[in-house]
Structure 1
Amino acid sequence: MATPFPLPAVSSLSDVTDFSKTVTPFLHQLSISHVRPLFTGQVPVKEWYLSTNPLITAAHFALAVTLIVLVSSEINGNYSQVDRVWSLLPSIYIGHYTLFARMNGLDTQRLDTLTAFSLLWSIRLTYNYWRRGGYNIGSEDYRWEIVRKAIPRWAFILLNIVFISFIQNVLLVMITAPAYLHLLASTLPTTPTWSLADLVLSRGLLLALFVETTADQQQWVYQRAKMAYLTTGAVPRGYTKADLDRGFVVTGLWSFCRHPNYTAEQAIWLLVYQWSCLVCDELWNWTGLGAVVYMALFQGSVRLTEKITAGKYKEYKEYQKVVSKFVPGLGAFTGASDFDGKEK
């Protein structure tokens, strides 16, 4: 039995970004009838993998993860199951596209670079989640706990099915979909070779990751100092009593905007998307939907987080007035000093 070629026949870069040519013809592979031969052993794993469109394979995997986290969350009452695999899934999806390209003898220079970056991103995020105790048994995102108490049980179950388990997993497929376009572009002999623009974008990703890592570290150091102060009453070196009584960090990158780590995180996936636009020589393409929804998710999440924080710390509302949320404003370079001045 001949293995059908699972990639669309594209003849130009504009074809690469055409949803009707590169995605629609393969949607039938989402059916159970396409997966059944794999589970019944009628088709070897490798043959099934190579005969399935790689974007559809990613979608199948996301649906499987959705089912697992949904069942798991309802059994143990912990609704942060997606958070536990959040740092791993983007690397799995991008690595999958790279593996598929290599198995088909395609050029993988851009995909290799993107895979290496995603692994660094995963390591950083996994470590950050682990040191916060995110993998401890019984740990749960406090925001879901607050939401669960605020709405009826049936409404939260629906939220868990539709958003927490399903939409979040689909979103992780979407933000990595630009790698699918890199894969398709590599099948064309006319695709531009690695250039200075590729170098700049790839280094831009590293810069954004560095900013995110630095911001998280500054937050971590402050929170550790605050906990030590609350436990012992002694003010750790490098801080003042006023710093720690405030309850939240306003120095370093946190004086430029209220969520520098989130700003950098959004920039990362926006740059991943823009890289696909660069390669395909277009201003936008359908994979940008993932980056847009990702940024929208941060808007909603941060709104809830800041509402909780403002209720805990009386100075936070003043901090909100002085320092911008995501994008540094005109007062970026004086945000912390202005805030400290108003406190005094």
Structure 2
Amino acid sequence: MVRTIIGLVGALIALPVVAYYYDHPLDKLQWDALILAVRLMLTVALLSFLVSEVTRNYSQVDKLWSIMPVVYCWHFARAAQWDERLVLMAVMVTIWGLRLSFNFARRGGYHWIPWKGEEDYRWSILRKDPNLKGRLRWGLFNLFFISLYQQSLILLFTLPAVMAMEGRGT
């Protein structure tokens, strides 16, 4: 389990660092958009963690897998002053997000009360894992893997939009 954690966290940190050093440096507009997106990601991760701890429904991030990429891409499109390339990316991600949201809703993932809805079966299986037994261990797993790690992944797979800002207006 520890090796898995080290591998996942290492990849989460190493991949953006390697990409940063092997490409052109970001300009001020790209940095500003990225910093705001990271702040939003941290806020959403913290809210997901708090809601899941209070409600004991650990699928809060699952509900956001199809929504947050749409938010990030439209944020990047706005930051690029509605550059056509970024708007096209945001439209395509929105269509993809709507399809995923529809499928998730059909399986009972969403509810009119946002913190309700079906919990993913994997979380109940993981709660039985001896390494995650106990309130503190599960809470740390929830904070660092379910909330922060997954929200970071969601942000990372929208970062090509930041790189597309490089060619804005061309």
Aligned to 2:98: 123
C-alpha distance in structure 2 between counterparts of 1:144 and 1:91, whole Å:
25
| CA-based RMSD | 2.4
Pairing 1:186–2:161 present: no
Aligned to 1:22: 26
C-alpha distance in structure 2 between counterparts of 1:171 and 1:54, whole Å:
17
**Quick one: structure 1 residues 117 and 163, their matched pair in 2 at CA, closer, same or farther if it must change by over 3 Å?**
same
Query: How much has 1:138 moved relative to structure 2?
Result: 4.7
C-alpha distance in structure 1 between counterparts of 2:118 and 2:84, whole Å:
40
**Structure 1 residues not aligned, in runs of 5+:** 1-14, 27-49, 188-192, 194-344
C-alpha distance in structure 2 between counterparts of 1:126 and 1:164, whole Å:
19
Pairing 1:64–2:68 present: no
Match for 1:133 among 105, 108, 114? 108
C-alpha distance in structure 1 between counterparts of 2:46 and 2:140, whole Å:
14
| Contact 1:16-1:184 at 8 Å conserved across structures | no
| Contact 1:97-1:180 at 8 Å conserved across structures | yes
Describe how 1:80-99 pairs up with structure 2 within 5 A: 80-99=59-78
User: Deviations for 1:297-334, whole angstroms, at most 9, x for unmatched residues?
Assistant: xxxxxxxxxxxxxxxxxxxxxxxxxxxxxxxxxxxxxx
| Contact 1:98-1:115 at 8 Å conserved across structures | yes
User: Deviations for 1:52-75, whole angstroms, at most 9, x for unmatched residues?
Assistant: 700011000000001100000000
Aligned sequence identity (%) = 37
Match for 2:32 among 53, 63, 71? 53
Pairing 1:166–2:148 present: yes
SS of the counterpart of 2:58?
coil
| Contact 1:95-1:115 at 8 Å conserved across structures | yes
C-alpha distance in structure 1 between counterparts of 2:23 and 2:36, whole Å:
19
Which structure has the greater CA radius of gyration? 1
| Contact 1:94-1:118 at 8 Å conserved across structures | yes
Aligned to 1:152: 133
C-alpha distance in structure 1 between counterparts of 2:66 and 2:103, whole Å:
10
Aligned to 1:308: none
Query: How much has 1:87 moved relative to structure 2?
Result: 0.7
Matched letter for residue 121 of structure 1 = W
Query: How much has 1:99 moved relative to structure 2?
Result: 0.8
| Contact 1:16-1:22 at 8 Å conserved across structures | no
Match for 1:100 among 55, 62, 79? 79
Match for 2:85 among 107, 110, 113? 110
SS of the counterpart of 2:127?
helix
User: Deviations for 1:215-268, whole angstroms, at most 9, x for unmatched residues?
Assistant: xxxxxxxxxxxxxxxxxxxxxxxxxxxxxxxxxxxxxxxxxxxxxxxxxxxxxx
C-alpha distance in structure 1 between counterparts of 2:59 and 2:161, whole Å:
27
Query: How much has 1:101 moved relative to structure 2?
Result: 1.1
C-alpha distance in structure 2 between counterparts of 1:87 and 1:60, whole Å:
19
* More moved, 132-141 vs 169-178: 132-141
Higher RCO structure (Cα 8 Å, ≥6 apart): 2
| Contact 2:108-2:117 at 8 Å conserved across structures | no
